[in-house]
Amino acid sequence: MRYTIFGESHGPAIGVVLEGVPAGLELDLKAMDQDLSRRAPGKDGLSTARQEADKVHILSGLFQGKTTGTPLAMVIPNSDQHSGDYESLRWTPRPSHGDYAGFISSKGCLDYRGGGHFSGRLTAPLVAAGSVAKQLLARENIWVAAHISSIYGILDRPWEDVEELKTAAIKPFPVLDDGKGEEMRQAILEAKEDQDSVGGSIECAVAGLPAGLGAPDFGCNVEGIFSQSLFAAPAVKAVAFGAGVGFSYMRGTEANDPFTVQDGKVFTKTNHAGGVNGGITNGMPLVFEVTLRPTPSIALPQESVDLRTGEEVEIEIKGRHDPCVVHRAVPVIEAAAALAACETLGI
């Protein structure tokens, strides 16, 4: 499937067009609503105060509850914009945001309100598209689930099986160890009190992919396909498969995954490779971890420049922003992974 996300944070609506959706899928809109509600900000002080209904309106590609095989167009209205909060930032880009790069790319025509097309608001249609992908994967007994693996250096415990991970993924604060989750919450609230922000990481698994998908070549490499999709999610700055950077601390005897046979099927006893060898799936769960940067929109004074005059200026960002995006990004990463899995499968 190919997808195109459209809209801006403070425009009338955001949405996505999915092309190549197989005909005949009975689309579960309740499941889509559940995924979108996981992405939505809560009322616990950990997220932005912006509240949107995120109700998906399907314009085409669905008839009598089933996909038709034509482009599936989905729209989510915007209703809670405070555009005036951004007028003072029109000519003074926020550090580490997409403002300056977008200004140059658009030749000065960027919609600067709320980050425009660069806003985390655009992850809502990504989650909607990912829900369609998840439902297609479920027909092949393939499942995607993720959890917060760390926030500000506080680590969740490792997962032991996919069912455990699926249970953690749908928690209000998606961690395996609720005690560690409470420590993470406190770190977010402390950053918010300091008018600052924190980052973290999300670990995701795709279970059920058959062995033999992909190729070592450019454009066909499974790790490359997934990375391309994952880096489209705002705030993602690193992707690591399997043991990732941990390989740099290992010897080959520790890093290698020994083969074994169970019920006539080949498995590996460990999964340090994250389910991929030579750019090709090996039948083990595809496992990766993404790192998300701290939210760049913080309330403390920051240094910028006035793009009209070239003078250095100090800015203070107003508006409603997340002190941490990691807990809201878990369904976003699942969505990106599900879309990449469909591409890997040729769906």
Q: What is the DSSP letter of 26?
A: B
CATH code: domain of residue 166: 3.60.150.10
Domain limits at 182?
2-345
166-170 LR contacts (CB < 8 Å, sep 24+): 169/145, 169/330, 169/331, 169/334, 170/34, 170/38
**What CA–CA distance (Å, rounded) separates 136 from 144?**
12
* Domains in the chain, number: 1
Strand 57-60 to 302-305 pairing: unpaired
Instruction: Assess contact for 138 and 131: CB atoms under 8 A.
Output: no
Q: Tens of pLDDT along the chain (347 residues)?
A: 899 999 998 888 999 999 999 999 999 999 999 999 999 876 666 866 556 678 999 999 999 999 999 999 999 998 865 566 677 788 998 898 888 998 889 888 888 887 778 888 899 999 999 999 999 999 999 999 999 999 999 999 999 888 999 999 999 999 999 999 999 999 999 999 999 999 999 999 999 999 999 999 998 999 999 999 999 998 999 999 999 999 999 999 999 999 999 998 999 999 999 999 999 999 999 999 999 999 988 888 999 999 999 999 998 887 667 899 999 999 999 999 999 999 999 99
| Helix orientation angle between 123-138 and 326-345, rounded to the nearest 10 degrees | 50
